[in-house]
Amino acid sequence: MDYRIEKDTMGEMKVPNDKYWAAQTQRSVENFPIGNEKMPKEVIEGFAYLKKACAITNNNLKRLDDTKCLAITEACDEVLKGKLEGNFPLVVWQTGSGTQSNMNMNEVVANRATEILGKDFRVEKLVHPNDDVNKGQSSNDTYPTAMRISFVMELQKQLIPAIKSLKQTFEQKSQEFKNIVKIGRTHLQDATPLTLGQEMSGYADMLNKALMQVDDALKYLVELAIGGTAVGTGLNSHPQFSPMVCEVLNDLTKTEYKFKSHPNKFHALTSHDAEVFLSGALNALASNLMKIANDIRWLASGPRCGIGELNIPENEPGSSIMPGKVNPTQSEAMTMVAVQVMGNHTTVSVAASQGNFELNVFKPVIAYNLLQSINLLSGTMHAFNDKCAIGIQANKENINRYLNDSLMLVTALNPYIGYENAAKIAKTAHKNGTTLKEEAVALGLLTNEEFEKYVKPEEMTYPKE
């Protein structure tokens, strides 16, 4: 491989000649050969938006000339379009402030900007990574800002549409199945009836609450640390820099949730409680998705020796040895995603509690885990919706058989003969293998006509005066 020599304050480094990065990036490559987890592309894009906004703002403040500003913004646009892919090699497991990823972006943008201005950056530097691209900034305020930009954009682009799509499907199923009365189950035992539509409505409401929680998290995530520089004081930054950068970011990103300057930069640098809030919302969503996926696969279990109240799409063979077997694979994928997200929540919670004094130094791992959770949840909800939920059908034969065989229909008799007598009917019927009606009449507690008048499953699915 062909190399060139790049210098920084620590000395000289050999850098691949075909790459735009420079000495600080190369030091990180060599000092942190840890794992395979690269800095998420969403964070890289967040940085590109931020560096572009900072250049425009510095130009508006007369702190950066027009020529350099145009070159920097063009280089940032190339990052956003993927034209500079391969120039961001750093791993998550680096300095906890994300300094090296900030400098990776600064170096790449500066060298490409020099090239845009017509010079060979290997020979002459027209744009400086620190003095120009990083003007009025610190890694301590740019990294948390870049990661929040990525969170806000990915939540709006990926997660919210995925939640809405699955929510809509369960709302439709709730209406489709609203007149199908089935037996309820609690403690994995028979319970009183409800409609299949009511059961589906619970899933829809879980997802509706998830939307509300994500919306609440976004209200805090739009508050950006930019302008705090090293420790929150704003040293080397203009007093209007932060709000002006946020205004430019809103123009560039066109997000529904508008970015704004964090009211307390000391808070913004040292604490990531908003990220924990988001992670908690994702964790709650994962818990509900685990519940939904497990319910669906239990209700679809069988086809002949399980519950079998639901029929779900048959997407692929389920066994390499058992011919004809089909498994609830979308439920299985969703439950695996759920446990990963739960683990990520623990990581984010612990990471956000760490760091000392003016800076949290666990930022890259927070960003990595949150973005992974957002991506996984979005993907599994889309797949589950398209490959499973939309195709759910009711097995009415099994539903009716379980409903009519259930001993818990006896609950409807409580107001007429009391709990003790109703329990006697249920226990006797279970012991003798007979029906509730047969034992109610045999015990002399009800006539045949009275039983049929009082025990109507469809009237047990709602409260009555």
Neighbours of 54 (CB within 10 A): 30
The residue length of the chain stands at 465
Q: In angstroms, rounded to a whole number, what is the distance separating the alpha carbons of residues 368 and 93?
A: 10
Check if the beta carbon of residue 241 is closer than 8 Å to that of residue 136. Answer: yes
Give the annotated binding-site residues for substrate.
97-99, 128-131, 138-140, 186, 320, 325-327
Give the annotated binding-site residues.
97-99, 128-131, 138-140, 186, 320, 325-327
Residues near 127 by beta carbon (within 8 Å), at least 6 away in sequence: 68, 71, 72, 109, 110, 111, 113, 114, 117, 133
CA-closest candidate to residue 252, choices 49, 70, 74, 109: 49
Q: In angstroms, rounded to a whole number, what is the distance separating the alpha carbons of residues 364 and 241?
A: 25
Q: In angstroms, rounded to a whole number, what is the distance separating the alpha carbons of residues 182 and 461?
A: 9
Q: In angstroms, rounded to a whole number, what is the distance separating the alpha carbons of residues 266 and 256?
A: 26
Q: Which two tokens stand for residue 101?
A: 């990823």
Check if the beta carbon of residue 392 is closer than 8 Å to that of residue 296. Answer: yes
Active-site option among 101, 261, 279, 319: 319
Which DSSP category does 36 fall into? S
**Side chain identity, residue 148:** R
Neighbours of 203 (CB within 10 A): 23
SS3 382: helix
| Known catalytic membership, residue 345 | no
| Known catalytic membership, residue 382 | no
Which DSSP category does 190 fall into? E
**Which is it for the CA torsion 282, 287, 290, 291, positive or negative?**
negative
Active-site option among 187, 287, 345, 378: 187
Dihedrals φ, ψ of 393, to 5°?
Answer: -125, 150
Query: What amino acid positions are annotated as catalytic residues?
Result: 187, 319
